[in-house]
Structure 1
Amino acid sequence: MSSQATRPTLPAGDPLGTHRVLDPPGAMPQPAERLDADASRHFETEIVVDVQTLNIDAASFRQMEEASGGSPDGVAQLVLETVARRGKQHNPVTGSGGMLLGVVRRVGSLAEHRGVAVDDRVATLASLSLTPLSLRRIIAVRPASAQIDVEGTAILFGSAPLARMPTDMPERLALALLDVAGAAPQVARLAGPRDSVVVLGAGGKSGLLCAAEARRCVGRAGRVIGIEASPGLAADLRSLAICDHVAVLDARDPLAVRDAVLPFTGDAGADLTLSCVNVPGVELSAIVATRDRGKTYFFAMSTSFTAAALGAEGIGKDVDLYIGNGYAHGHAEHTLALVREHPALERLMTSRYG
């Protein structure tokens, strides 16, 4: 028998993270009620991150603001309570989370192929609703960007996407963009040359990216129509000159949306409608804005997919309904490149989030 000390063998852990589920047994991490966020338990498929900023999903942050009467301290308390109870930032009302920025503390031996090393600054591209998280304290709440500065620890599973932070733009801007990085690549898959595209909530973070990608895809022979409730955000959108028409109206009013879209689409409706609104109740608006056999894409986590499916059926509208997927191959690089190619868009986004 060799006298050389044998290195202890650590458990691998399930790349899907099921070994961290506490309740209910057998669940996947995202729908689970509680996760084990104890970072002192090492698994070789995991990456451990010292967390600095949480970028909260827009629908989740809005709900917490409303529940706390607009108080940043109230939002902080809700986050602390959720994380302490569930082992993750999984809003029990909206069901959504967000993503985070931090520094890599540990890389398991079976995660070394992920291409990150200790001390790398990274953003997680998997939802906080499935990421084991523990918080020591909250430092600051930033309502304008839905970001919360914290001290804490997160655990990334073997299947969870992540990205190194870019060095050519402010970190807060990059974090905000990576939070919605799945939006623009999906537009690129669905929009074609000369198409007409409607973006609901076009003045917001994901809406701006969708409108910019739509302009690139449809060309000047196509149409991009932005719907935005905020006059200020609508003015910002107009300044970018990526939309042929911007209508200031409440996207929860389906008849107003329909009447704004039809004149610019030959009374047929859009080939593609994208819902990027962070409030519920816009499902029918997106559907009535879309032409027969067109495509309706719901990116916002506030969407009721039951309302969308039954709503389309109820008005006899034959459209293809797409569920928003925050992940697409190469989506981080795609979105960062899109913003770099539009200096005016980058300046606007920097003024808001950077």
Structure 2
Amino acid sequence: MSTGSPVGSHRVVSPAGALPQAAVRLDPDPEIRDDEVRVSVERLNLDAASFRQLRTKHGGDGAAIRAEVLAIIAARGKMQNPVTGSGGMLIGTVDAVGPRSPLGLESGQKIATLVSLTLTPLLITDGLERWDGESEQVPAAGTAILFGRSIAAPLPDDMPEALALAVFDVCGAPALVRRVVSRRYHSAPTVAVIGAAGKSGSLSLAAAKDAHAAKVVAVVRDQVEAAQMRRLGLADKVAVADATDPLALSHAVTEALRGRGADVTVVCVDVPGCEHGAVLATATGGTVVFFSMATSFPQAALGAEGLAADVEMLIGNGYVPGHADYALHLMNAHPRLKELFNTRIGAHA
């Protein structure tokens, strides 16, 4: 048994010299190196932008969606949507641990991987036969490989697996929001969360409140979601706007904040075209956090330049130290947030 690269470069089939996330194909061979961990896969969670793209492309045809996901995994040795570039994450049971693995995992341990499927070697053995192609969560059988610098978290004992998977899938968002809001130490900032009714959006609302934001605005797409936000009770104001309409989005936020933009704008919408509206909705000197894989970063950068907007723009990279524990803390602190997640994943509290 040999030692692999801690960043997984030894698993890259092509192109030579790439890291796993940027690779076209990975080697998903279940035989592990002495610093790797093999996980017996039980459920995948496709990220929202990827699943929306697949569902739109195939007109909601579950069988066609399932077939394309299988084809992507077979071709690439990982789950990385070629259109959105995004993947998701998974839960499973630790099957084998190399003697030099630094992750501290043990065989038989139920875990969620906290690294993207876009860089995780993945082999599916059941043809996804238990998945109807109609939800982001995918029952599956197969193997996945973790590297020395991968991240994983034990599944909590007091939470259903499907709910824990949904929380861990977006746990980077609330942790980053807390950090950004807390760093504006000179004054409590105003925060607008665009796409507030989704998983990352609703957790971001909770994090903004937890970080003592002066005012939190939830921006949603329709009155149904607005009613959900009012019941959730984590926003001071609820605004309805099409996030892909820059002027309408900007107007909705500034109206909710009495004529000025938000100090911190968090974008959690799983469709493209929200970049310019988010910039317009942000006050001069403010911060935009793009926590959506549907974001076009050239559009964001060039749009801000063209609008002469003095805003800082951050990419939510999905990892902040302690992010998994913090997301679980927020869920347990807000029972109605848990209800919203259960509704989103089709479960019942």
TM-score relative to the length of structure 1: 0.93
> Cα distance 1:85–1:171, how it changes in 2: closer, same or farther (>3 A)?
same
- Structure 1 runs of 4+ off > 6 angstroms? none
**Change in 2 beyond 3 A, CA 1:231/1:142:** farther
Instruction: Rate the CA distance shift 1:351–1:213 in 2: closer, same or farther, 3 A.
Output: same
| Alignment partner, residue 212 of structure 1 | 206
Which structure 2 residues correspond to residues 228-247 of structure 1 after superposition, within 5 A?
228-247=220-239
For residues 165 and 145 of structure 1, what CA distance do their matches in structure 2 show? Answer: 21
Mark the CA change 1:142 to 1:339 in structure 2 (over 3 Å): closer, same or farther. farther
Q: 1:292 to 1:183 in 2, by over 3 A?
A: same
- Would you say the 8 A contact 2:89–2:115 is kept in 1? yes
Q: Which amino acid aligns with 1:106?
A: A
Shift of 1:155: 0.6
Give the deviation of 1:142 after TM superposition. 6.1
The answer to whether the 8 A contact 2:60-2:134 is kept is no
1:230 to partner: Cα distance = 3.7
Question: Could you tell me which residue of structure 1 aligns to residue 335 of structure 2?
Answer: 343
Aligned partner of 1:279 in structure 2 is 271
Q: What does residue 202 of structure 1 align with?
A: 196
Question: Which of 109, 117, 120 pairs up with 1:120?
Answer: 109
The Cα of 1:71 is off from its aligned counterpart by 1.2
Give ranges in structure 1 of 5+ residues lacking alignment: 1-9
Q: Aligned residue for 1:180?
A: 170
| Backbone CA RMSD of aligned residues | 1.3
SS in 1 for 2:259: coil
Whole-Å separation in 2 of the counterparts to 1:213 and 1:319? 21
SS at match of 1:152: strand
Counterpart selection for 1:159 from 149, 154, 174: 149
Residue of structure 1 aligned with 2:40, choices 41, 45, 50: 50
- 1:306 paired with 2:298, answer yes
Structure 1 199/86 Cα, relative in aligned 2: closer, same or farther at 3 Å?
A: same
- Label 1:144 to 1:83 Cα distance change in 2 as closer, same or farther (>3 A): closer
The one-letter amino acid paired with 2:227 is A
Q: CA deviation at 1:20?
A: 0.4
* Separation (CA, whole Å) in 2 of partners of 1:212 and 1:162: 23
Q: Aligned residue for 1:252?
A: 244
2:132 paired with 1:132: no
Deviation at 1:115, TM superposition (A): 2.2
State the 1:238 CA deviation: 1.2
Provide the secondary structure at the position in 1 that maps to 2:176: helix
SS of aligned partner of 2:74: helix
Residue 168 (str. 1) matches residue 168 (str. 2) = no
CA distance in 1, matches of 2:268, 2:248: 17
Amino acid at match of 1:87: G
Deviates more, 1:225-234 or 1:239-248: 225-234
- Which of the residues 89, 96, 100 maps onto 1:99? 89
Q: Deviations over 1:111-166 (max 9, x none)?
A: 1x422211111110000000000111203336675111111111111111011100
Q: Deviations over 1:53-93 (max 9, x none)?
A: 11001000111111211011111101110011000001111
Tell which structure's C-alpha radius of gyration is larger: 1
Given the two structures, how large is their TM-score scaled by the length of structure 2?
Answer: 0.95
Q: Deviations over 1:170-192 (max 9, x none)?
A: 11000000000100010111114
For 1:217 and 1:187, locate their aligned partners in 2 and report how far apart those are by CA, in whole Å: 8
Pairing 1:21–2:12 present: yes
Of 50, 53, 63, 2:53 maps to: 63
> 1:235 Cα deviation (Å)?
1.6
| Change in CA separation of 1:140 and 1:235 when aligned onto 2, cut-off 3 Å | farther
Q: What runs of 5+ residues in structure 2 fail to find an aligned partner?
A: none
How many residues are treated as equivalent by the alignment?
341
Q: Is the 8 A contact 2:243 2:277 kept in 1?
A: yes
Residue 134 of structure 1 aligns to a residue whose secondary structure is strand
2: CA distance, partners of 1:218 / 1:258: 23
Check conservation: 1:228, 1:248, Cα contact below 8 A. yes
Could you say what secondary structure the match of 2:94 adopts?
Answer: strand
> Displacement of 1:216 after TM fit?
1.8
Please point out which of 131, 142, 155 is paired with 1:141. 131
Kindly tell me: are residues 214 and 238 of structure 1, through their superposed partners in 2, closer, same or farther at Cα, counting changes over 3 Å? same
Amino-acid identity (%): 46
